[in-house]
């Protein structure tokens, strides 16, 4: 169970029907929404008093205790995106992700480091300045463990990302990295980004950070051009846990979940999907990949 502070405002609970864990963090209800007194992430703001290229700091409204929730600023400019920055600047951001993964992962109370971003008010981002977050969990989260734990079908040890041949679902490549639409994509323009080699985590990927940066610029630029507007999205890295286990199946990769299925139209996850656990994607993955290649 995730280690959370005790008290009336925060409590970890297990759903007796599903076994799912939920952390109730009442203190986060008081978070500011779209601050009216200027951007706290711009240079000179509350969270960035000095000039910077990339920057991290502890989250003032952490869902996890003991300094295990951080904010990462991508750039000092307020209106840039990953798709509009030069690759060499994005490479500095990738290096910072790797640095925070290593620093947090070295702690005895951290078993997994999740790097992620929520972009756009449509997905709940409260500040428009380009930024992401880092959560450091005391146990390997269920979504990560589901990818890493071997099944009982005799394929234990096989890596599905190493075996992946995206074919007409391939969107872009940069050096040893590639991006493609998953064959069973939940979101219409969902993407996976991964190195062709079996690299375990962001620190281990250091020799190819420049190639990864180039791919990030291309992929997020294509998503923004797809409907001629910034694409609201959620995305996150999955990498090797830091609990000391071997985890030979860990293959570094990013999941990208764009919100829109057509211009201005979100892809809502509806009751039939949540109630069944079966998802219905209205856009064929090969068609989504072709649209992104053309963007």
d(CA 262, CA 95): 34
CATH of 18-150+157-294, one of 3.40.50.300, 3.40.50.150, 3.30.300.30, 3.30.428.10: 3.30.428.10
d(CA 193, CA 161): 10
- DSSP of 166-220, one letter per residue? -GGGEEEEETTEEEE--TT-SSTT-EEEEESS---STTTTGGGHHHHHHHHHHHH
Per-residue pLDDT of the chain (295 residues; tens, 9 = 90+): 444 443 346 688 899 998 988 888 876 666 666 666 789 999 999 999 999 999 999 999 899 999 999 999 999 999 999 999 999 999 999 999 999 999 999 999 999 999 999 999 999 898 999 999 999 999 999 999 999 976 544 445 579 999 999 999 999 999 999 999 999 999 999 999 999 999 999 999 999 999 999 999 999 999 999 999 999 999 999 999 999 999 999 999 999 999 999 999 999 999 999 999 999 999 999 999 999 999 9
The structure's pTM equals 0.92
Confidence at residue 156, expressed as pLDDT on a 0 to 100 scale: 52
User: So which residues are the catalytic ones?
Assistant: 131
Please check whether residue 96 is in contact with residue 71, taking contact to mean a CB–CB distance below 8 angstroms.
no
Please check whether residue 27 is in contact with residue 61, taking contact to mean a CB–CB distance below 8 angstroms.
yes
Is 253 annotated to bind a ligand? Reply is: yes
Is 162 annotated to bind a ligand? Reply is: no
d(CA 58, CA 71): 6
- DSSP of 122-153, one letter per residue? GGT----SSEEEEEEESS--HHHHHHHS--SS
Who's near 246: CB < 8 A, 6+ residues apart? none
Is 209 annotated to bind a ligand? Reply is: no
Instruction: Name the residue ranges covered by the structural domains of the chain.
Output: 18-150+157-294
First-last CA distance in the chain? 43
Confidence at residue 152, expressed as pLDDT on a 0 to 100 scale: 46
Question: Length of the chain in residues, anyone?
Answer: 295
Please check whether residue 40 is in contact with residue 127, taking contact to mean a CB–CB distance below 8 angstroms.
yes
Report the candidate in 217, 200, 201, 208 with the shortest Cα–Cα distance to residue 176.
Answer: 208
Compute φ and ψ for 279, nearest 5 degrees. -105, 150
């Amino acid at each position: 169970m995730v280690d959370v502070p005790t008290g009336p405002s925060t409590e970890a609970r297990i759903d007796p029907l599903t076994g799912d864990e939920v952390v109730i963090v009442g203190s986060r209800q008081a978070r500011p929404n779209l601050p009216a007194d200027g951007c706290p992430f711009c240079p000179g703001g509350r969270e960035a008093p000095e000039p910077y290229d990339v920057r991290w700091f502890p989250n003032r409204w952490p869902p996890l205790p003991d300094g295990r929730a951080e904010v990462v600023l991508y750039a000092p400019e307020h209106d840039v995106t990953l798709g509009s920055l030069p690759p060499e600047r994005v490479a500095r951001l990738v290096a910072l992700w790797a640095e925070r993964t290593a620093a947090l992962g070295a702690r005895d109370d951290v078993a997994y480091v999740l790097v992620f971003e929520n972009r756009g008010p449509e997905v709940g981002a409260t500040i428009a300045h380009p930024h992401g977050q880092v959560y450091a969990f005391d146990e390997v989260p269920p979504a990560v463990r589901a990818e890493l734990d071997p099944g009982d079908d005799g394929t234990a040890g096989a890596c599905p990302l190493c075996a992946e041949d995206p074919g007409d679902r391939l969107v872009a490549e940069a050096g040893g990295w590639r991006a493609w639409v998953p064959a069973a994509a939940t979101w219409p323009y969902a993407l996976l980004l991964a190195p062709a080699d079996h690299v375990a985590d962001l620190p281990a990927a250091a020799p190819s950070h420049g190639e990864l940066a180039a791919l990030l610029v291309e992929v997020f630029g294509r998503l923004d051009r797809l409907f001629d507007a910034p694409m609201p999205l959620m995305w996150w890295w999955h990498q090797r846990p830091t609990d000391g286990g071997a985890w030979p199946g860990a293959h570094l990769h990013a999941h990208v979940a764009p919100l829109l299925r057509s211009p201005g139209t979100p892809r809502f996850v509806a009751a039939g999907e949540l109630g069944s656990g079966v998802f219905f994607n209205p856009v064929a993955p090969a068609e989504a990949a072709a649209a992104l290649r053309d963007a």
